[in-house]
Each structure stands twice: as structure tokens, then as C-alpha cells.
Structure 1
Amino acid sequence: MSTTASAPTETSATESLELDALIIGAGVAGLYQLHQLREQGLRVRAYDTAGDVGGTWYWNRYPGARFDSEAYIYQYLFSEELYKNWSWSQRFPGQPEIERWMHYVADTLDLRRDIQLSTMITSAHYDERADKWIVRTDRGETITTRFLVTCSGMLSAPMSYLFEGQGEFNGPIFHTSRWPKEGADLDGKRVAVIGVGATGIQVIQTVADKVEHLKVFIRTPQYALPMKNPTFDESDVAAYKSRFAELKETLPNTFSGFEYDFEHVWADLTPEQRNDLLEEIYENGSLKLWLASFGEMFYDEEISEEISEFVRRKMRARLQDPHLCDLLIPTDYGFGTHRVPLETNYLETYHRPNVEAIGVRDNPITRIVPQGLVLADGTLHEVDVIVMATGFDAGTGSLTRIDIRGRGGRALKDDWNRDIRTTMGLMVHGYPNMLTTGAPLAPSAALCNMTTCLQQQTEWIAECIRYMRAHDHTVIEPTLAGEDEWVAHHDETANATLVSKTNSWYNGANVPGKPRRVLSYIGGVGVYREKTLAAAAAGYKGFQLS
């Protein structure tokens, strides 16, 4: 295995590089997409803003960052050798180990020679006369490419500048997804954490015993499930590796791309049987309660309330303090309709004398001053460091922050500011030969094991390009009618669920002015796979090829 493979030669500002395909991103999707297109003999290069490969696992190196998908399913399944030659140390390993795995993949497949790092794609304009994309970078380079493939991530555009006066603060402000590679010294400091989503929870439970004082600013509480994270010995590793063929067969066809699936019907069980099953699944210490207990929780308000109350009881028993329960246990949305975090002694962290829980739903942060944070009632919270676990402009942000222009100069940012639309999350009408992964209206980030979903999407794209070349096509674009049909199906599916009735990043509610639409396809990973493969098998129904 080579660990010193050279990067590609950079293009000078006066040169124009010609490619068959340009990939934006060198994370889970980008690495596999590069491998597949290179196997076809294409001239292809991946570009990434980061200093190394890894995507989300390069950027998210904050304290406590780790998987909440089981490690043995968060893997590529196209190669048994690649799968079995890497061994995980835990069920849910931490970021340093995950980043090493990403390096292992890039080096084993010799991908680095076709990856240009520390390079931001600033614009991509479609040339209708040449039927090619003209792409420019922050280094002044110009690249011409037949296909533009975006693997830029569902959660990669951080919400970093949210408060007036951030530039006035005397200390450092860290967004969790831009944590410094050299680390940050929090020991003995007065630290504020803004946000208690999945990321905030990991930070809070990790740093509480290291800081002098921790102030946690809580707007929207979360239904948190305890993580059970055993260390793997040799027999554990051998056992999961022996399941490679089973996992390869089952993961792409389950509801969420995880190894477990919904097997029980609420109405078929007595109340006692339901409770026993919930207790059993809860003890699994994973996301199984969310993704494989009762699917009816997403549709039926009474069932949702019963399961939500089951989780609330578990949280109340651990928190005990009524004030903490009011701040940290949700009551205004149902379990599973927001992202469900896993945690390790997170709730008990609030019992520490150096941890302070501060509710900001009704008394929000209004500005940041040199000494700290000021709330609406004028209260000043003095701190030395601010950690912003404030989330992302999900689904759209990674692409709308690039100047992407399609037919007639139409701008993707403008189009998506009016209405967030795609065709199967794989293309957008008006943007020929731009193929997308992890995009809106595909399974991505929400209710989806990302490696399962991204593998499927990149494979569809690779096969599409193979088909076009075999049939002498140079351009593919979704028809307006085809896109309308997919958007209608997506909305019908999403609007039948309780997910569409809550406010979270799942439907863009965290970004002021963002058009409201459930961003991820939630009809099931297996169902989505069937629909995309059926479209391809029908000669790419809903798309126009020329």
C-alpha cells in the first residue's frame, strides 16, 4: 500500500485543463466516484478544499467526533478485499480512526494521483455551444469538462456567522466542522457551547471534565439515546468480516441502509409486547429504536406520542432534576422526526458542578461582545472560548456557495432560493451533465446510512456515463416533466409523514428564508434504489439524452 502517492500537477492560471469528468469533493462519495470513473478509462480529477482526503471526516475533528453508524456497515461494499483488509477497533470508532480508514481507501486504490487538494471550486458555467462545463478554482485555474459530478456533501456548508458582533469576541470561536487540525486548548477555560444537536452532544460530554466551566446554550432539546460502544477483539472483527456477503446483499435494500429494518407492526402486538420490544431495542445501544422499531411512528401521531413518551421516561429517570428535564427533553415534536443522536453519559454531564444549562428558546442570544454572549434580557455570559455546534445549510449549501450556472446562464443559487428541486437527487433540470450525490430529494443524511446511499448514487452515475459513452450520447438532462414527477412523488411521500410537520434542518427550517421542503427522500433507501434502477433500465426515463 502506497502512502506517498503524488498529487496531480496543478494547472497554471494561463492553462486550461481538459477532462472527461470533474468531481467536486474527495470524501466518501468522491473517492468512490473517482475510482469508478477512472476504471472506465476517463480523464477524471477530484478537487477538494480540504488539505487531505476524507470529506466530513477531515473537517469534523472536534472533541468526541465519532460514528453513530456501526463501523462495519459504514464501509464500501464493492470490494471484499478492501473491506476485509481494514479492521475497526470499536463498534463506533472516533474521528482519528475514521480518517485513517479514509486514507487507507485512497492509498489502496491509488487515488491521490488524481486528487487536487487545498483547492476550492469557485464557479462552474455550462457552455451550451460546446456542451461542456467551464470550471474555475480559487487558484486561477480553468478546467473544461464534459461531466461535472458533485460529491460535496449533504452537511458541509456550516452555519458559522449567526450572531452580531462575532468579530468582537476576545477569544477564539470554533465551528465544530472547522475545528483546527492542531486541536484547541480548552483545559481550564470557561467554554460556551451553542447547540445540542448530535455534534453538540458529542462535544459537551467530551469536554465537560476538562474545562473550568461549561455553559451550554439550549434552544431545541433532542431525544438522545445511550450508545453502547464495545471494543472489538479479534473474534469480533472476524465475525463481522464473515458477514460481508450478507451485508452487501441486505444494506442497499433496507429502509435506512442500516443492517436492521422495520419488522414489527404496532397493531399486531399487545401494549405489553410493544413495551417489551421497545425495551429490548433500547438496550441495543444504537439507532435501532429510531430506524427499526415501529415505522408507524413516522405517520401516526398517537403511536409517535407513545414511543416519544417511552424515550422521555428514560431521559427523566437519568436527569431527575425538573429544571433540566424542561430544558433537555423535547415535548413539541415526536421522537424520530428530528435527527436522533447517540450519547455517552451526556445527560449525567449536566449534574456536574461546572456545567450550566441555559435555555435560549425564549431568551435567545442577541449578540456576541468581547467578554462573551448577551441574551435578549441583557444577561451577559462571560466565557473564554465559544464553540458553535450550530449546524449546516443542509443539502443545498455546498452547491449554492459555488457560482453554478446552467442553460441560459440560470444560477443554481437563484433556482434553489425559489424552489428546491432535483430529479431523484441525481440531476437538476436546466443543468445538463451535472450529476449530483448527497443532493436534495435523494436519501442523504436523514434516515440513511451515508455510505450505503452514496455508494448507490455514485454507482448510478458511473453506469449512466458508461451507458452514454456506449450509445454515443454526449449530453443528459432531466426533462421538466420528469423532474415534476419526481418532486411530486417526493412531496407526497414526505408530506404523509410527521417529519414534514416539524421544524428542523430536515426541511431547511434552520436557515432563514430557505424554501421549505423535506430535503431527503424518506420513502426508504431500498425503494429509492429500485426507482432509480428502473429509470435507468427504461433507457433513462425522465431524462433526455443527445
Structure 2
Amino acid sequence: MGSQPEADGLPSEEDLKLYGLQQKYTEEAAKRFRPDGIDQFVELKDAELERFRTLGEDPWADHAALNAKQTVKDGARYKFLVLGAGYGGLLFAVHLIEAGVASGPDDIRIVDTAGGFGGTWYWNRYPGLHCDVESYTYMPLLEETGYMPKSKYAPGHELREHADRIATKWGLHDKAVFRASVKKTAWNESAKLWDVEIEQGRGPGQEPADLRVQTQYVLIASGVLSSPQVPKIPGLETFAGPLFHTARWDYSVSGGKPEDLSLTGLQGKRVGFLGTGATAIQAVPHLARWAKEVYVFQRTPSSVTWRGQRPTDPQEWETKIASKKGWQMERMLNFNAYLTNSPRQGEENMVGDGWTEIPAYCALLGCPDWDIVEPTPEKIGAHVARLYKLDVAATEAKRARVDQIVKDAETAGKMKAWYPTWCKRPTFSDEYLQTFNLPHVHLVDTDGKGVSSATERGLVVAGKEYPLDILILGTGYRTPAVGNGSPARRTGIQVYGRGGNSLDDKWQNHGAATLHGVCSNGFPNLFFMGSTQTASAANFVLALEVHTRHVAHMIAEAERKVAGRNDGSRAVVEVTSEAEEAWTVEIMRRAAWFASVMGCTPGYITSEGQRTQVPQDPMEMMKASRAGAWSQGMENFIGLLEEWKKDGSLKGLEITPVAAS
């Protein structure tokens, strides 16, 4: 692990302990590795079997109301087309309006496959759904809307309502086309505009409408976890009972609704829940309150620590939390500092929750106070050892917590997470572990192998069938790293830039290439967001805020320069190939920071173990390093962007005026 030996040449007791822990982690990860990687799952929308495809349909859309609106006209031209109506898409729209480059919402159209605003909070409505990050830092634009969340961790319906609140304040409700997907967007060189093909659904039994529009700018704001998937379990399609995915919760089966969790439909039923990720942590306690029997099928246990949910105190809100201008960004950065192991001496821990007790999460997010890791075995080994040492207290405390709460020793042993903090998104609950003390709640641990098969009656693990009446799939989403992190592949659209070149092909054949993670050469007036070649945050809304403000600034300054010509020209904005390669080199210099992921258990962070397999082809190794992130943390990244802005030259961007047409 790279630790220095004691003076007498013998390893210290701490070194031996860490070595043993790493060996345990390696053994547990090996149990779960499968050579088919992400191919062990199929996305619902791509499933060959109709039963699985229909699991991805929208159960929430008001088709009659949506059909009565015509928000996008076939053949029309718009200035901005935003792909995605979640928090990211809304922030793009708001910051463009606030920057003055959109004269108002009439310049903007938003396209989303959902039936309303909210992104993941539109689709996910399962019982117990909450944001896992404090709502005061997670819910965007609280300062601007003046809204006070009802509790420290907001439930899903409140988060969805907040998306509508933002849309209302900035006049975006009649500027969105819902139940629609962009099939293709191609750069029209003669018009210097994007040609966009949109397919809009009209509801069950109706043919979709095909729309073609032109737009000056395309902004991709798809979420990182947006495509539900189902495991390829032999016989799963034969299960005779109700079957649904948590991303499309079926309240007609369970009873109740998102605001009223009276799950009366589960009474007297044997309910199976497949998966033990963040969704299970929130949903399983509610299933246990109503079902006759609950069977939770586990491949890999989640790391679970305390939650500390409580109502918002209005006095504390007014006098301490939201008491000054700029309070929300300050709180976001304060929270981020604890996760990047970089709080300043004497700095108050404003959020003070379980997240802020895991400084080793900086393995994923970076740290501004640590040096760039040189790509040598010695330096990488020392870096990984340092992270393990930083992590050991937190992981041991979580495993001890399982023993303190779960009464059955055998069950407790199976629920302990044997992997570093950074390998799977940590979870927080004051109910989940306690639920397994109930006599009718059963953990079915598969020892890392997963469910063997399914029958008409239930699921089979290690030759034993578990009869079920209802089966719920909490099996997550396609990994955001698919396609080397290409925003086109992640969004599921075809993007063709100059010369008809494909964005997917560029990233697959040559590797990721951007300026600041938001734009790529050969694709003018195209901007996106994600985790590739940029800084990450556990509070994803912090990343959304930074990225959307930065893009709005780029466009606003480019438009200002063109407006100075006073001839009515419009702007074409494109990063130069030299600038994106220079930025890519900086990303590659920092790639060794993330070497600790190589020891992780399979999951979405490792693309189900595929990222832990070292490529033998040097070209593939290079492409993997190009798809990395900024290793010095979000606050350091923000500082870099601020310096870039102060320069005022839009360094790395080429601004071309185009005569108005």
C-alpha cells in the first residue's frame, strides 16, 4: 500500500491492519466481479421484451393537458434549445435569462422525455424518497425564490414542486415540450444553426408527432442517472405477479401516493425488493410497515450511517441559515470542504451531518490541499495508502453501527460494507438497519453473486426459491461513464457537428476533449454538463450551479463582443482544438489521483467493475485518462474559472460573427 516501513524494517501495526483491510476489500470485490460488466443489465427503453419496455413508460403524464398545448412549432427557429427539464436544464434557462443573453423565456425552449419539470424528481416517486444531501444546500435558487424547505432533507414531492416553482418564477411553463426526445441534432454549416429533430409523444394509442426546428445554441442538461436498467436474470419475464422499477413506482399495486404513504395494496402480500442501494435504504422501511413479508435481495450491502432528519426551524432559518446575501453558495462550499478534506482551521461545519464525517470521499472529488499525484507506482501507492488511512475510522464506525443496531449476528455480518467509502455512494438512514430486526423482514444475501434466476412464483438464490406476490426492482441506472462520458451517449441522442462528424465517434475514437468540461471543438454553440473533464461534487446541484453559470458567462461575453459590431450579427462560439487539448493534458496530469477506484467493488462508479480492469492497449489507457475529472476539488476549480473570467479574453474560445438572417 505504499506505507513506509518502521526503522527496524518491520511494518507497523497500523500498516498490517491496513494491509489486512485492503485484502478483505479485494476478496469481497472479486466475489462480485463479472466479465460482462455493464452488459449484465439492459436499459428499460432498449429491452427486447415488451414487459420490460413498458416498465419505463411514464405513469405520471397528464396527456390531455399536454396535448392541448403547442409549445414548439414545427419549422420554428429558437435561440436556445435546452435538453432536459430537471434542475440542470432549469438552471441553464435561469442563468441565460439572468445574464441577459435570453431576452426572456421566449428565446428558450426546453425538451424533456418526462411529462413535467423535475428530472429525476419527476420520475422517482417511491415511498420514502428524499434528497440524500441537505435540502438547504441541494435545492437550487432558494435565495432567489425565497423558499424555505420544510425539513433538513426534503421529500421527493417537495423537490418536484420546487422545480415547478422555479419554472413559474422565470416564466418557463409554456416554453417546454414534454414527452419528447431529441433524436438528432446536426450543425447546419450554411445557416450556422443547429437542425434538431424532435419526436413528441401524444399518449397511449396515438402516433407521436415529428418536429423539426432550428436553434442557435444547444445545451445538453441530461442527468447522470437518467436511464433505468433491469438485470438480465434468466426467467425474470416469467414472474406472474406485479413487477415494476422504483423509477416508475406503481401505486396502483402498492396503494397510497407520494404524499400519502398508506401502502394498503401490500397488506397480506409477500414483497420482494431487488437491490440494496440508496433507493432500498429509503423504500424498504415503508414496505415493512405494510407488507406481510418483505424479502430484500442483496448483492452488495450499502454503507449506512445516521440521517438526523428534522423539521426546519423558521427562527434558525431566518437568523442563522438564510440570514445574508450569498448564504446558499457559502453553505454549499462549506459542505463541499468537508467532503474534500479541506475545511479551514476553525471553520464552522454548517451542515453537520453524516456526509461531513467522511473526508476520504475526496478520493472521488479531489482535494485542493494535496499535491497532484505523479503517475509512478511509488507515488500512486503512497497516495492510495494515505486515502485508506484517512478512511479507516469512518468505515469501521459504520460496520460497528451495524452490530449495534441489527440484533441477529448473522444478518448483521452480511450487512457490513467491505469496501472504501468512495466506492459506492454512501447512504444515510435512521430506519433501514432497524427494519431488519422485524420478524417479517428477511435479508437474502447472495454472497456477491446476485440472483440466480426467476420463476413464475419468485426469485431463486443458490438453488432456493423465494415465493413472492410482488417484485420491485431497485436496480439503478446506466452508468454515467458509458461512452467515455460522451454527453451524446449519456443523453441518447445523435450529435453531428462540423463536417457531419459525430460527437460519440470523437469521444470513442480519440477520447474526451473539452474546455472546462462544457464544450468541445467541432461542435460550435453546443454546451453540456457532466462529470467528465470537470470538477465533481457530492451535492450535484453545486456542480450544476457552477457549470451553468460558467456556460451562461461564456455565451454572454461572446454575444457582447459580437454586439459591439452594431451590425446585427449573431455569435458562433467554439473552443479551439489547441485549447481543448491543453485542458485535456491538465486532466490527464491529474488522472493518477483516482487510482484508488481500482480497488473498488463493482458498481456504477466503476461501470460494474469494467473501470477496474487496466487496459492493455496504450490507446485505451490514454482514452481512460482523458475521461477523468479535476483532482483538486470544486472550490479549486471555481477559482480557476474565476481567473479565466478575469482575463476577459475568453481564452480558448473562437468567436465568429455571422450576419443576421
- Aligned-pair identity in percent equals 23
Match of 1:272 in 2: none
Selected match of 2:476 from 380, 384, 391: 391
| Paired AA for residue 451 in structure 2 | I
Pairwise mapping of residues 288-327 of structure 1 onto structure 2 (< 5 A)? 288-290=356-358, 299-327=386-414
Going from structure 1 to structure 2, the CA distance change for 1:53 and 1:410 (only over 3 Å counts) comes to same
Going from structure 1 to structure 2, the CA distance change for 1:484 and 1:182 (only over 3 Å counts) comes to farther
Match of 1:34 in 2: 93
Contact kept in structure 1, 2:150 and 2:312, CA below 8 Å: yes
| Paired AA for residue 519 in structure 2 | M
Distance 1:510 1:161 in 2: 15
| Paired AA for residue 526 in structure 1 | E
Match of 1:453 in 2: 543
Contact kept in structure 2, 1:214 and 1:354, CA below 8 Å: yes
Match of 1:440 in 2: 532
SS at 2:422's partner residue?
A: coil
Match of 2:444 in 1: 358
Selected match of 2:120 from 43, 52, 56: 56
Going from structure 1 to structure 2, the CA distance change for 1:249 and 1:413 (only over 3 Å counts) comes to closer
Selected match of 1:89 from 143, 150, 175: 150
Match of 2:243 in 1: 173
Match of 1:24 in 2: 83
- 2:621 is the alignment partner of 1:531: no
| Paired AA for residue 176 in structure 1 | T
| Paired AA for residue 470 in structure 1 | R
- 2:641 is the alignment partner of 1:540: no
Distance 1:343 1:505 in 2: 21
Distance 2:505 2:250 in 1: 32
Pairwise mapping of residues 75-474 of structure 1 onto structure 2 (< 5 A)? 75-77=139-141, 80-82=143-145, 84=146, 86-138=147-199, 139-160=209-230, 162-180=232-250, 184-185=254-255, 186-188=265-267, 189-240=269-320, 242-245=322-325, 247-248=327-328, 250-251=330-331, 253-254=333-334, 256=336, 262-263=342-343, 284-290=352-358, 299-331=386-418, 333-375=419-461, 377-395=462-480, 399-400=488-489, 401-417=492-508, 419-444=511-536, 447-472=537-562, 474=571
Structure of larger gyration radius:
2
Structure 1: state its 5+ residue gaps. Answer: 266-279
Structure 2: state its 5+ residue gaps. Answer: 1-64, 200-208, 256-264, 371-382, 563-569, 614-619, 657-661
Contact kept in structure 2, 1:22 and 1:44, CA below 8 Å: yes
Match of 1:504 in 2: 603
Offset of residue 147 of structure 1: 0.9
Going from structure 1 to structure 2, the CA distance change for 1:373 and 1:430 (only over 3 Å counts) comes to farther
Q: Tell me the alpha carbon deviations over residues 56-85 of structure 1, each in whole angstroms, 9 at most, x when there is no partner.
A: 1111111111022212222334x7451x2x
Offset of residue 439 of structure 1: 4.5
Going from structure 1 to structure 2, the CA distance change for 1:252 and 1:88 (only over 3 Å counts) comes to closer
Distance 1:406 1:366 in 2: 45
Offset of residue 516 of structure 1: 5.7
SS at 1:9's partner residue?
A: coil
Q: Tell me the alpha carbon deviations over residues 388-432 of structure 1, each in whole angstroms, 9 at most, x when there is no partner.
A: 222222435674122222334333444445545543221234332
Match of 1:495 in 2: 592
| Paired AA for residue 29 in structure 1 | G
Distance 1:391 1:51 in 2: 21
Contact kept in structure 1, 2:77 and 2:213, CA below 8 Å: yes
Distance 1:133 1:258 in 2: 42
Going from structure 1 to structure 2, the CA distance change for 1:250 and 1:95 (only over 3 Å counts) comes to same
SS at 2:296's partner residue?
A: strand
| Paired AA for residue 92 in structure 2 | Q
Match of 1:483 in 2: 580
SS at 2:294's partner residue?
A: strand
Structure 1 stretches of at least 4 aligned residues deviating more than 6 Å after TM superposition? 4-8, 257-261, 292-298, 510-515
Q: Tell me the alpha carbon deviations over residues 304-332 of structure 1, each in whole angstroms, 9 at most, x when there is no partner.
A: 2233223222222222533223322122x
Deviates more, 1:242-251 or 1:345-354: 242-251
Going from structure 1 to structure 2, the CA distance change for 1:170 and 1:6 (only over 3 Å counts) comes to closer
SS at 1:146's partner residue?
A: strand
Distance 1:147 1:396 in 2: 25
Match of 1:273 in 2: none
Deviates more, 1:524-533 or 1:290-299: 290-299
Offset of residue 218 of structure 1: 1.3
Q: Tell me the alpha carbon deviations over residues 214-258 of structure 1, each in whole angstroms, 9 at most, x when there is no partner.
A: 111211222211100111243233235533425245246457278
Distance 2:337 2:308 in 1: 20
Match of 1:269 in 2: none
SS at 2:94's partner residue?
A: helix
| Paired AA for residue 635 in structure 2 | G
Distance 1:110 1:524 in 2: 34
Match of 1:271 in 2: none
Contact kept in structure 2, 1:479 and 1:544, CA below 8 Å: yes
SS at 1:16's partner residue?
A: coil
Contact kept in structure 1, 2:115 and 2:178, CA below 8 Å: yes
Offset of residue 510 of structure 1: 6.2
Distance 2:249 2:610 in 1: 22
Q: Tell me the alpha carbon deviations over residues 132-182 of structure 1, each in whole angstroms, 9 at most, x when there is no partner.
A: 221111230011111110111111122235434443322233222222476
| TM-score normalised by structure 1 residue count | 0.84
Distance 1:204 1:521 in 2: 36
SS at 1:336's partner residue?
A: helix
| Paired AA for residue 64 in structure 1 | G
